[in-house]
């Protein structure tokens, strides 16, 4: 009986290896679509497969080519400028939500060691799941109640309590009550978060940022890239190079000049 099972097991392994090989070859053929399309149409039969490959493969090839073109082109551009001028206005206001953010310590004042921001949160206001690449955030509740999410878990913080989101931790914070709450956020080391906040509030006040989307798509890429903020739902290997590249291209195009008034 054992002798009969061995060939069957070997056959199953070969089938599994064969399937993996076919999947790998199919993926590879999508990347080299011009070669793949000439090869597949030389095979007799399989009309449905040929049509599927022709349509789906072409769309996939165009998207991958565009993605790689953007990322490779951006490699030759100057690095993204995340600096902020020596502003005298320490508090910026979001007129739409009637709340503010106060930069108690800027990166300029600490030589890049950290930033300290006091954030007013409107009733049930806050942000959604996201993560940062190069800094951690330390949250301390000064007034009210704030819900903090971290890597799929959520905790409720009261006055005097705190939490930490390390770099690459998926996190969010939101006001947990129907009155304003006050949150102290320490960013270590200092990064482009001040620039993101200043630009975001400025765009909101000018009616150029609504429902978390900017009127100018280039400005959205700059907003995210200034603070290296990445969103839930997209793999990091895909969105991180893309967002950074689009922001560098936006800077190269001069799309950031419209934002100077908010941070210079």
Q: What would the pLDDT profile of 125-177 be if each residue is shown by its tens digit?
A: 999 999 999 899 999 999 999 999 999 999 999 999 999 999 999 999 999 99
Query: 262 Cβ partners below 8 Å, 6+ apart?
Result: 198, 199, 201, 202, 203
Determine, yes or no, domain membership for 5.
Answer: no
Range of the domain at 96: 91-263
Residues 178, 119 within the same domain: yes
Instruction: Provide the pLDDT for residue 37.
Output: 66
Residues 144, 244 within the same domain: yes
CATH number at residue 126: 2.60.120.10
**Confidence category of residue 33, pLDDT binned at 50, 70, 90:** low
Determine, yes or no, domain membership for 97.
Answer: yes
What's this model's pTM, rounded to 2 decimal places? 0.81
Residues 68, 95 within the same domain: no
Residues 171, 216 within the same domain: yes
pLDDT digits (tens, 9 = 90+) for 75-133: 999 999 999 999 999 999 998 878 899 999 999 999 999 999 999 999 999 999 999 99
- How many domains does the chain divide into? 2
Residues 30, 63 within the same domain: yes
Residues 58, 178 within the same domain: no
Determine, yes or no, domain membership for 124.
Answer: yes
Instruction: Provide the pLDDT for residue 54.
Output: 74
In this model, does residue 4 exceed pLDDT 80? Answer: no
């Amino acid at each position: 009986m054992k002798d009969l099972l061995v060939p069957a097991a070997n056959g199953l392994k070969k089938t599994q290896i064969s399937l993996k090989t076919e999947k790998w070859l199919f993926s590879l053929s999508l990347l080299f679509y011009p070669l793949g399309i000439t090869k597949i149409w030389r095979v007799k039969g399989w009309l449905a497969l040929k049509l599927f490959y022709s349509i789906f493969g072409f769309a996939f090839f165009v998207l991958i080519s565009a993605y790689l073109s953007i990322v490779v082109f951006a490699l030759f551009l100057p690095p993204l400028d995340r600096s902020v001028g020596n502003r005298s206005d320490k508090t910026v206001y979001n007129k739409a939500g009637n709340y503010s953010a106060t930069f108690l310590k800027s990166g300029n004042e600490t030589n890049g060691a950290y930033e300290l921001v006091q954030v007013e949160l409107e009733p049930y206001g806050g942000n959604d799941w996201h993560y940062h690449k190069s800094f951690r955030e330390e949250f301390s509740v000064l007034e009210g109640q704030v819900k903090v999410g971290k890597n799929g878990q959520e905790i409720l913080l009261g006055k005097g309590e705190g939490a930490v989101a390390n770099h690459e931790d998926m996190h969010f914070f939101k006001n947990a009550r129907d009155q304003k709450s006050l949150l102290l956020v320490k960013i270590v080391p200092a990064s482009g978060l001040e620039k993101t906040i200043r630009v975001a509030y400025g765009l909101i006040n000018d009616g150029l940022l609504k429902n978390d989307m900017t009127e100018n798509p280039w400005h959205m890429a700059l907003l995210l890239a200034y603070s290296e903020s990445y969103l839930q739902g997209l793999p990091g290997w895909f969105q991180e190079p893309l967002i950074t590249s689009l922001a560098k291209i936006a800077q190269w195009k001069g799309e950031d000049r419209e934002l100077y008034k908010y941070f210079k």
